[in-house]
Amino acid sequence: MMTQKAPFITFEGGEGCGKSTQAELLFRRLLQLGIDAVSYREPGGTKGAEDIRSLLLQGEGERWTPTTEALLMSASRADLVAKRILPQLEKGSWVICDRFTDSTLAYQGFGHGLGYDPLTELNRFTVGSLTPDLTFIFQLNPEVGLARTALREGGKDRYEQFDLSFHSRVEKGYEEILKKNPQRCVPINALLDIEMISQVIFEEICKRFEM
């Protein structure tokens, strides 16, 4: 049984919602305040998990079945949790994660239609009782999000190739997650400007963790 000595904060949302920028801004702000913090992205964060990330994000949409995808996401997560997240929380470092178990619920559960309950079970098997203390869910019309990612260099990854109806189901999934977890999850209007969002996030953190 691990003893968690610092907050675990996750960032979630559909494509192009700006959560990675905000995770990075928060990470830097915590460091500037002299707070011990680490930041990871999912899938990824360890050598093995980054290898799995390449398998998942490259190639054609049909490269993996939805079930294989869910299992690969979970394999990557199991490595990150065991090797990085749990040890860091135990030693008292804040952990920021760009995506976590809610992504599997939204993308594989809703996007691919594998269902909320089976993937909640899979998440439990993968991470045990580890649950983020606070999750920011970025809300953005998927059409707007996909238009934003189309402007990025480097071409489309596997998920950006899935059609609009897939991404609309992902967005609905996040709405459901918000409804089911009103204490843990805070909605963020992804249309606000970067500075404003960063301020909203920091204020929420100060309130929650008495800073």
Q: Is 142 in the site for ligand TMP (CB under 6 A)?
A: no
Q: Is 79 in the site for ligand TMP (CB under 6 A)?
A: no
Q: Is 12 in the site for ligand TMP (CB under 6 A)?
A: no
Q: Is 104 in the site for ligand TMP (CB under 6 A)?
A: yes
Listed residue (185, 73, 43, 168) closest to 111, CA to CA: 168
Handedness of CA 62, 138, 204, 21 (dihedral sign): positive
Using left for φ > 0, alpha for ψ between -120 and 50, and beta otherwise, residue 188 falls in beta
Interface with ligand TMP (CB under 6 A), residue from 7, 18, 43, 142: 43
CA distances from 89 to 6, 8, 33, 127 (A): 6, 7, 18, 14
Report angle CA 134, 74, 112 to the nearest 5 degrees: 90
Q: Which stretch binds ligand TMP (CB under 6 A): 83-91, 102-110, 176-184, 189-197?
A: 102-110
Neighbours of 128 (CB within 10 A): 12
Q: Is 169 in the site for ligand TMP (CB under 6 A)?
A: no
Q: Which stretch binds ligand TMP (CB under 6 A): 1-9, 39-47, 89-97, 172-180?
A: 39-47
Q: Of 35 and 75, which has the nearer Cβ to ligand TMP?
A: 75
Q: Please report, as ranges, the residues that interact with ligand TMP according to CB under 6 A.
A: 15, 20, 41-43, 57, 73, 99, 103-104, 107-108, 159
